[in-house]
Amino acid sequence: MITTLLVANRGEIACRIFRTCRDLGIATVAVYSDADAGALHVREADTAVRLPGAAPSDTYLRGDLVVAAALAAGADAVHPGYGFLSENAGFARAVQDAGLLWVGPPVKAIELMASKTRAKELMAAAGVPLLAPVDPGSATTADLPLLLKAAAGGGGRGMRIVRDLASLPGELTAASAEAVSAFGDGEVFAEPYVERGRHVEVQVMADGQGTVWALGTRDCSLQRRHQKVVEEAPAPGLDDGLRRRLHDAAVAAAQAVGYRGAGTVEFLVSAEGRPWFLEMNTRLQVEHPVTEAVFGLDLVALQLRVAEGGPLPTTTPPEPRGHAVEARLYAEDPARDWQPQTGALLSLDVPEAPGLRLDTGYTGGDTIGVHYDPMIAKIIAHAPTRTEAVRLLARALERARIHGPVTNRDLLVRSLRHPDFVAARLDTGFYDRHLTTLTATAPGEDAARRLAATAAALAAAAGPSPAGTGTGRVGPARFGAWRNLPARPQTRSYRSEPDGTEYEIAYRTGRDGIPAPGTGERVVAVHPGAVTLETDGLTRHFTVTLHGDRVHVDTSSGSYAFTALPRFTDPAERTEPGSLLAPMPGTVVRLADGLAPGAAVEAGQPLIWLEAMKMEHRILAPASGTLTALHAAPGLQVEVGALLAVVQDASATDAAPVSANAPADDPASDPVNAPVHASAHQEETTR
């Protein structure tokens, strides 16, 4: 019987497993890197063991250090979570060799499914339908498009879609290099790429007595960069015959490798309803909560029960009930090529309601760093029908108070309300087709933002208050001068984040001490942290929270972030024209060949590769011209806004650089001379 469990993972994953351990009376042990010293999973564990370093390769991917930590903490079992070493057969063997209980499938099953090529051979022998592999060396135009995959990969890392033969050799080389970097194995294979296919998977749970459950289906088709964003159970729109085929194939896959514990069998379903085996993940999945909600189960509790040698409660799974949808909240900017964001998470407050669940590894006040995946939380909604579950989830996201870095929250809300999603017209190309529309400024959004900025200005005029508070109605000043003439309008300026639109708000403070805007809105109430306005006959409530110069305005229909602008710009903050600034903290991993001051560059040419949050970001030349300065070198750690290089635009060679001691036009108003906050293309290079 397990008494103390070490979770060989971090963040939301570890916190999720600890929750079940507390329910079962099992003591918990966390491991943490230096970057995670103050993380929530460390705070929630009964005991924590430090893994010196910050990079995953030095910490969470060091199986020897994790096993030593388990022994030092007196743990008798290890749960790998998902990600990192969760599908590493060598780690599972090392855990067992150390006399510890492994909460996962047999080592042999992990080995058989670890290589996608070997797994496909095994599934073919078991009669599971699959896509025939394509030999890249003999591929023809008739085989296009192709999907390249790392044989030892997972999570969408290192995948490449090839649509023309000329690019195949280069993409093979790149995919292989990424596979070596991320998984230590450069084997790459190719298979047909199915356009508009659906990603459908089956959760399996097996015990050591021969019982295998197929726990329904999940649809995980809404993906960006082959990584899931929205998942739901059951997968909508599948007929009973297709569901039975998928269940039977998943059970056959588990039985073929003598599986035990929780696992997921993934399929690609074509627009015509034909299923093909993709892979089997020999671990718990990020999206497992939707299955738990529909079947009323705790899959982690079942994992622990099976690991202790116990049987599943029944020979057949429970009946499903209702529908569940999960959305992954990421610190990223979808409108800027999904660029990951970092910084302090000032507030994370998701409404509580029946049917809602929040899984997270963060609380307000934590910091989102550069070393790991940018996922902040998963929000799950369960309801009797799909329509009700989707509506509940969209509304919860809309009302959530999430202050700090830019997130994909607005994209999630719009995705859940998109006609194609509502009608369950799902496939993996959803964001390829709709991202521009989903991130565009909606009709009336500028007016709504201006109204939110007005609320921010009125709240600020009402007087200072601590972040998140708003007590005390503004009234007449008890002391001070009195005049018979109306006061001149005062103004406050705000820059909307992240789009950069600036708003200047004018208001007057009346004799009653209550500030009022000069744009027609009627002030119903003003507090330092709360404003109620009436406009066009509608009364709206605004909660205003200050965090330094950052202002967050939350309403019942959305949230807005602003930066309060000073009245005068500090000349020392001006940046040399053509400067390329780091868009986030990270590490310079390489430079373009021959890149040095004096080199000629072309607009859009990749100059610098910056690694941050498990991805590579290519910093592109903003214009054709000459590289006049280079401040980046491989291995250099940089902070957000750090000067990486300067490119002098060939069309603006006469433009003089701005001096901090001389008056000049604001370079930010000139698109040629403006500093460039690089927001370049990203490539999956997960360690």
pLDDT for residue 152: 64
pLDDT for residue 563: 95
Band of the pLDDT at 157, cuts 50, 70, 90? Answer: low
Paired with 265 in beta bridges are 202, 280
pLDDT for residue 110: 95
Distance, in Å, from the CA atom of 291 to the CA atom of 288, rounded to the nearest integer, reads: 5
pLDDT for residue 649: 86
486 pLDDT more than 80: no
AA identity, residue 103: V
pLDDT for residue 579: 86
pLDDT in tens, 39-88: 999 999 999 999 999 989 999 999 999 999 999 999 999 999 998 999 99
573 pLDDT more than 80: no
Largest CA distance in the chain: 93
Band of the pLDDT at 642, cuts 50, 70, 90? Answer: confident
In the block, residue with structure tokens 């903050």:
573
683 pLDDT more than 80: no
pLDDT in tens, 374-388: 999 999 999 999 999
Distance, in Å, from the CA atom of 477 to the CA atom of 529, rounded to the nearest integer, reads: 19
Percentage of the residues of the chain whose pLDDT score is greater than 70: 88
pLDDT for residue 232: 98
Q: Please, what is the average pLDDT of the chain?
A: 87
pLDDT for residue 654: 45
Band of the pLDDT at 156, cuts 50, 70, 90? Answer: low
Paired with 102 in beta bridges are 78
Distance, in Å, from the CA atom of 469 to the CA atom of 158, rounded to the nearest integer, reads: 46
The structural domains of the chain, ordered by start, are: 4-103 (3.40.50.20), 132-192 (3.30.1490.20), 445-478+485-565 (3.30.700), 573-684 (2.40.50.100)
**Token pair of 89 as six digits:** 């057969």
Region 500-515: mean pLDDT is: 85
DSSP 246-284: HHHHHHHHHHHTT--EEEEEEEEE-TTS-EEEEEEESS-
pLDDT for residue 153: 61
Backbone angles phi, psi at 289, to 5 degrees: -60, -30
Distance, in Å, from the CA atom of 167 to the CA atom of 580, rounded to the nearest integer, reads: 29
Paired with 262 in beta bridges are 205
* 457 vs 149: which has the higher pLDDT: 457
Whether 350 contacts 364, CB under 8 Å: no
**Token pair of 244 as six digits:** 């039975």
Region 127-150: mean pLDDT is: 84
Distance, in Å, from the CA atom of 273 to the CA atom of 508, rounded to the nearest integer, reads: 64
SS (H, E, C) 515-577: EEECCCCEEEEEECCEEEEEECCEEEEEEEEEECCEEEEEECCEEEEEEEECCCCCHHHCCCC
AA identity, residue 47: T
Backbone angles phi, psi at 679, to 5 degrees: -135, 60
**Which segment of 129-138, 403-412, 567-576, 577-586 scores lowest on mean pLDDT?**
567-576
pLDDT for residue 155: 57
Band of the pLDDT at 575, cuts 50, 70, 90? Answer: low
pLDDT in tens, 287-346: 999 999 999 999 999 999 999 999 999 999 999 999 999 999 999 999 998 989 999 999
* 594 vs 675: which has the higher pLDDT: 594
Give the burial class of 54: count Cβ atoms within 10 A of its Cβ; 0-12 exposed, 13-18 middle, 19 or more buried.
middle
Region 482-490: mean pLDDT is: 64
Q: For residue 579, how far is the Cα from the chain centroid?
A: 29
Paired with 634 in beta bridges are none
